[in-house]
A and B are shown apart, each in its own frame.
Chain A
Amino acid sequence: MKILAVCGMGFGSSMVLRMTIESVLKELGVKAAVATADIGSAKAETADIIVTSTEFAPLLKDKGVPILEIKNYVDKQEMKQKLAPLLPV
């Protein structure tokens, strides 16, 4: 299972996203690799789930994997709500 956190440049927001994702995964006891990417290279990356903002989501639609649109990057509740249904039990 690979989760890709995507932002504009791959240095800031996606790192924040990754940390939120990782702490949610830890809470749920699920093991998965979390990678970060900027929007440009994200198009070439493979992933099982993509987590990003509402703006970037449409740009990644054609990758054919579930895309989570996150409003508050540090809100674990929001993340858990959106991510949990997609994770293997």
Chain B
Amino acid sequence: MHSESWIAQIRSLRPRAQQIFQELMQRSEPVTTEELARRYQRSDRSIRYDLEALATACEAMPVRLVHRRSGVWLEDTPEAKLTLRHQWSAVQGTVQMAAADRRLHRLLAVLLTTPEPIVVKQVQDWLEASLRTIYADMDRADLWLASHGLRLIRKPHYGAKVEGDELIRRQAAFRLLLAACGWTASNDAGNEGQRLLDIVRQHVDPFVKRRLLEESDLLAMARALRWNPASEMRFGSWWAKVALYGAVTCQRIRLGYPVDLFKPNVNALRETTEFSFAVQVAERLEQMLSLTWSEEEVIALALHMLGAYPNLHLEGSAQNTANLDDFSRNWVSRMLAAVDDALGMRLGADEELFRGLAFHVKPMIHRWLLGISIENDLLDEIREDHALAYYAAVVAAQFLERVFGQPLAAAEVGYMALHFGAALERRWARPKGAVGTVRALVVCAGGIGTGKILQSRIGASVTNLQVVDVLDQSRVHQAPTRSVDVIVSTVELHDAPVPHIVVNPLLPTEDERRLQRWVTEVTGGPEGVGGAAAALAEPMFQLIQQTCQVGDERAVREEIQRMLRRVAPYLTVPSPPVESVRKKVLRMLDVLTEECVQVRARAERPDDVVDLAGRLLVDAGAVEPGYVSAMKSSLAINGPYMVIVPGIAILHARPEDGVHRVCMSLVTLEQGVSFGHPDNDPVDIAIAFGAIDHEAHLQALSDLMRLLADAEALTAIRQAQSTGRVLDIIRRVTA
């Protein structure tokens, strides 16, 4: 017989019977029932019950429990006893632990479900332990409850009582059940109510189970969940967890402990799809159990549904922004506005970022409200290598923290940073060369975030590799892979349809090189070499020619090509460092170059003025021609407010109207043109500018302000006959 099975047999006994078994195994002399009773401070009768149970358990073992008038002992062959003792001592620690855990679970079940204070003597019978042990158990219970957000009040002559929100109390009861079932066990439930119940019966101490849930509630809950096709798509563990929690809720409602949701933002939950699902489940339950679910109870269930599984994606919905509910849209757009405001970026316009965050943010907010913590193994790496992305995520988190009034865990911030990181990479991604491109499929473990960031990293740093799609692991085989040459994965794959490589999703330098080498190897290498390496071929050949007599020119050139192919991966130009791009401060004269100044021009209508100033920017290659028409329509729509200072119009449109770089132009007019401004007409100086975001042009604008506030300098500019003179004046003012 396997050791696991007899140990399981013994472990199924009550703790005292286990202790007796252990004692009998260690002694060769019989021991009387009376003696055992005295030692365990129990009646003869309860000891006899233990012995009966022990005898039954022994039937499946190579030992036999003998009960005579002289006492009880274990009868077996010496070898069998030795083996048993050997095996037993190996698991003894585990068994004692199991007994202690069982006491703890029972104690917690009592504490969580009893509204009045409990004195230790009351629980002694249920726990089958000495007073001293129970006091120690009470300390452990105190710790456990504290880690689940509850407080254990203990006072002499009063007893012990749990204090805390009903929602948290239920969450704790649910966690206790899960701990007893084992997280993995709840995964096995499939979505069969009966199977889930079997698992609960098998793993949860009947005493604990009775106190926390009714079996019939669990079955009803399972049926109510199954009835909705949406739940079929969820993972087994999600399903089992919601069912368990729902059963706990039923019990609490029946006992008259309604949930009290006073959190102000819980109202926003009504917009989620989980809420409407919870409404259906509750209606169904009401029919089956004649139990009334208040709206607050339904919201609590929705909260749990949202928090129960971190990466809640309904099939296909990740591709479709239209499926996002208002709740996610609302929070993400506000969050992105806060980030754009703080960083002066326009990340809000990045649809992929919006979608990614929207699918992430909903479960995240609810994990957060429920106090469910998650892990993030990549956190340190994200912080170190993607500081700006992490910073963007911190700004987003700060916005949420202000709204919800509690701090957000760094692990969660890190997950948001993955999305921001991908968005930043997209901004700085270099245009891809189409020649010799290898088509790649990016595969990740399940979340969208890691796959997306890997995609962006590849786009930004690996030449010749074009990512055609991002899929999660489970869908690799369903995907049409005909058009894909290789798979780049963050997880090990089995039976991949095309060659694959596993890399870190953040693609650190060594992985980047490894990937580049591998791609070259797998695809047999490109015909020639591209980029920086190609540029070296000719100078190298010339260098060789200068010092050597070249016999076979073609052979030498081929050899150079071969060598360059090998070193090409090391010659890839790194994407521009994020910080340096951002830190460059542009002064007014950096962007207002000589070619962008025109003096004493002629214009009749405001549109002519826009044309003049805009033309300069177009000719300098700083904006698209379309930007000029955009400035005109802005003038038409918004009116002449841009004449912000007497005689001076500031003309501009939006970055997305076709701005290549921060730029500025200045035109002075021989004769003033009326823009229709009530106070500041006529206009004789027009300044046009193009911004690429909210920030990069600010110093230039600030310089411009100093100019605009300097009446003397403006007069001098109006009179200036040359562009050089205008620039001199500006140089003096802005220095």
Contact = CB atoms under 8 A, between A and B. Distances in A.
A15 B644 CA distance: 12
B125 interface: no
A74 B705 contact: yes
B555 interface: no
A74 B637 contact: no
Interface string B622-651: 000000000000100111111011100010
B341 A35 contact: yes
Interface string A55-67: 1100000000000
A75 B648 CA distance: 13
B680 interface: yes
A36 to B, nearest CB: 8
Contact of B653 (A9, A55, A75): A9
A7 interface: yes
A20 B706 CA distance: 10
B634 A8 contact: yes
A16 B689 CA distance: 13
Contacts of A13: 641-642, 644, 650
Interface string A17-54: 00110000000000000010001000000000000011
A26 to B, nearest CB: 14
Interface string B599-637: 000000000000000000000000000000000001001
Interface of A: 7-13, 15-16, 19-20, 35, 39, 53-56, 71-76
A-B complex: 7 closest residue pairs judged by Cβ atoms: A8-B638, A73-B644, A53-B641, A74-B708, A71-B679, A74-B709, A55-B641
A20 B708 CA distance: 11
Nearest to B651: A12
Given A35-B341, A54-B678, A72-B680, A9 B652 contact: yes
Given A19-B705, A71-B679, A72-B680, A12 B641 contact: no
Given A12-B642, A13-B650, A55-B639, 7 more contacts: A7-B641, A9-B638, A9-B654, A11-B694, A11-B697, A53-B644, A72-B646
B652 A11 contact: yes
Interface residues of B, number: 30
A15 B653 contact: no
A15 B698 contact: yes
Q: Which of B638, B639, B704 has the most CB of A within 10 A?
A: B638
Contact of B709 (A53, A54, A76): A76
A72 B644 contact: yes
B653 A56 contact: no
A56 B652 contact: no
Nearest to B646: A72
9 contacts: A7-B638, A8-B641, A10-B694, A11-B691, A11-B694, A12-B691, A12-B701, A72-B679, A74-B645
B641 to A, nearest CB: 4
B702 interface: yes
Q: Which of B644, B701, B708, B709 has the most CB of A within 10 A?
A: B644
A73 B652 contact: no
Nearest to B341: A35
A72 B652 contact: no
A39 to B, nearest CB: 7
A74 B638 contact: no
A72 to B, nearest CB: 5
Nearest to B639: A55
Contacts of A72: 644-646, 679-680
A12 B654 contact: no
A25 to B, nearest CB: 15
A15 to B, nearest CB: 5
Contacts of B708: 16, 73-74
Nearest to B689: A12
Contacts of A15: 698, 701
B701 A19 contact: yes
Nearest to A12: B652
Nearest to B641: A53
B217 to A, nearest CB: 46
Nearest to A52: B641
A77 B593 CA distance: 32
